Amino acid sequence: MSENFAAFLYLVSGVLFILALRGLSHPTTSRQGNLYGMVGMGIAILTTLLLAGPSFGGLVLIVLGIAIGGGVGAVTAKRIPMTAMPQLVAAFHSLVGLAAVMVAAAALYAPEAIGIGTVGDIHAQALVEMSIGVAIGAITFTGSIIAFLKLDGRMSGKPIMLPQRHLINIVLGVAMVALVVAFAITQSYVLFWLIVIVALALGVLLIVPIGGADMPVVVSMLNSYSGWAAAGIGFTLQNLALIITGALVGSSGAILSYIMCKGMNRSFISVILGGFGGESGPAGADDLGDRTVKQGSAEDAAYLMKNASRVIIVPGYGMAVAQAQHALREMADKLKKEGVEVKYAIHPVAGRMPGHMNVLLAEANVPYDDVFELEDINSEFAQTDVAFVIGANDVTNPSARDDKASPIYGMPILNVDQAKTCLFIKRSLASGYAGIDNTLFYKDNTMMLFSDAKKMVEDIVKALAD
């Protein structure tokens, strides 16, 4: 295959990747977007194989690798529950980072294979590209592992604050830059692996102080890192498809991180500095003071919603944990049959990763036209009879809007407290992932429904049928 034709095919795959991103921006076109992405990746892989022209033995190894990796990926994707999707994404990001490190190492030890020079005489430009790619890849690898452990509950969701952590990070960052310069000059294998070690340590130190409340930003940030790592290695390999793909993933992840930060009224720098949010804990008697909550039953909730004109459902991570999305859709269908207008309100940082709630509702076949983002539906709560909150804690906390002393003050919230009645399903009065008490629980128009989310919704469905 000629290089010009290969470049054309890589360009075609790049266009398909762009179309994939555009398709994934909306639920109604997401399947088509996935199809574009798969076709584009297929074209890129076949083009690379035809351009490289591997030997029979090499081709066997490549096919074997694709079969093993593809098989593991297919089985994992099929078995993984939707509640574990955030940690799965973090795990995949770690593999991208590890792949970048391994490819950079292969390029260093066999530069003739990719035309960047010979051992001990690699092109200076390739060395710089290799160093940047391996550094970002190693940071992505360990950072994603820490994110996976936090999201999966295998590590505390609380910020782990090391003494002098900022100074340590600065020292490691400066050391890594110095190592990159020295490696570009000397081409030393030792310096290469020192860059890897420092970057691995930096990945851990960057993520451990970040609390649970900032995890959606972390997931999108690591997604961006993985893209830039791939792009850096793409330059080393002189592979146009890898450069295009990496740049698209890196830039889209960066934009998504910005959107997430905006949705939390947090700066990107403040997220990186960490220290915000943690594991939820039960609210004790001392926390309540003189405040009381109004507690209701499934029958109470069914009566209120059955006699309402408009109900807005606000899903959160509690719905994901309980796997209540199918029961929730059934409840909504029954309300619609009673003539009630039902809508869903999604906060941009609800759940543990961007789009988490949208994915779960789509899995339950909730009509796309019934699902609205915060900025499109927030003004409707004041004219709504019932706001039905199912496990969405921090994103409905009025303190973010009213209390200037609150750590989450300024974060845009869903104004569920402005509805005539707010029904809130929760197991207890525990704080959310930000570790802050929710003042919504104690408002006069709030009725708490203490139960597992799925069981409560199923009980409401039964009450609606009576």
Which is higher by pLDDT, 389 or 150?
389
The tokens for 163 are: 């003494």
CA 100 to chain centre: 21
Q: pLDDT tens digit string along 417-431? A: 999 999 999 988 887
Instruction: Sketch the domain layout of the chain as residue ranges.
Output: 1-78, 81-271, 296-430+437-462
Contacts of 55 (CB under 8 A, 6+ apart): none
Both tokens assigned to 8 = 């054309």
Q: Which pLDDT value is given to residue 240?
A: 87
Give the span between the Cα atoms of 126 and 118, in whole angstroms: 12
Average of per-residue pLDDT across 313-321: 91
Residue 216 has pLDDT above 90, yes or no: no
- Residues 337 and 217: their CA atoms lie apart, in Å, by 39
Band (pLDDT 50/70/90 cuts) for residue 444 is very high
| 1/388: higher pLDDT | 388
Average pLDDT of 45-56?
Answer: 87
Q: Give the three-class secondary structure for 268.
A: helix
**152 Cβ neighbours under 8 A, 6+ residues apart:** 84, 87
For residues 26 and 12, the answer to whether their CB atoms sit within 8 Å is: no
20-54 b/e (C-beta count within 10 Å ≥ 16 → b):
beebbeebebbeebeebbebbbebbeebbbebeee
Residue 33's pLDDT band, with cuts at 50, 70 and 90, is very high
pLDDT of residue 278: 47
- CA pseudo-torsion sign 431, 320, 252, 156: positive
pLDDT of residue 390: 96
Report the pLDDT averaged over residues 317-334: 93
CB 357 within 8 A of CB 282: no
Q: What would the pLDDT profile of 153-184 be if each residue is shown by its tens digit?
A: 788 767 788 888 889 989 999 999 999 999 99
How much is the pLDDT for 433?
65
What is the fold of 296-430+437-462?
Answer: Rossmann fold (3.40.50)
Q: Give the model confidence (pLDDT) of 262-306 as tens digits.
A: 777 767 776 666 555 444 444 433 344 557 899 999 999 999 999
Own/partner contacts of 52-55, CB < 8 Å, gap of 24 or more, are none
Classify the phi-psi angles of 391: left when phi > 0, otherwise alpha if psi is within -120 to 50, otherwise beta: left
CB–CB of 452/320 below 8 Å?
no
Q: Assess contact for 416 and 422: CB atoms under 8 A.
A: yes
Annotated catalytic residue, options 290, 333, 376, 394: 394
Whether the model clears a pTM of 0.85, i.e. scores above it, the answer is no
Tokens for 121? 């005489």
Q: Which amino acid is at 165?
A: R
Q: How far apart are CA 20 and CA 27, in angstroms?
A: 12
Mean per-residue pLDDT over the chain, rounded: 87
Strands 121-122 and 117-118: antiparallel
- CA distances, 269 to each of 206, 291, 411 (Å): 11, 37, 16
* H/E stretch holding 7: helix 3-23
Predicted pLDDT at 282: 42
Q: Is 444 a catalytic residue?
A: no
Tell whether the model's pLDDT for residue 259 goes beyond 70: yes
Alpha-carbon gap, residue 466 to 453, rounded angstroms = 20
Average pLDDT over residues 31-60: 90
Percent of the chain residues topping a pLDDT of 70: 94
**What number is the average pLDDT over the span 383-394?**
94
In 3D space, the residue among 313, 318, 351, 315 whose CA is nearest the CA of residue 335 turns out to be 313
pLDDT given at position 273: 61
The per-residue pLDDT for 434 is 65
Query: Model confidence over 57-102: pLDDT tens digits?
Result: 888 998 899 899 889 988 988 888 767 778 888 888 899 999 999 9
What pLDDT is attached to residue 31? 85
Report how far residue 147's alpha carbon sits from residue 150's, in angstroms, rounded to the nearest whole number. 5
Per-residue pLDDT tens over the stretch 407-420:
788 889 999 999 99
Cα gap 292→218, rounded to integer Å: 36
Whether 46 contacts 73, CB under 8 Å: no
- Indicate if the pLDDT at residue 245 is higher than 60: yes
Amino acid 286: pLDDT: 38
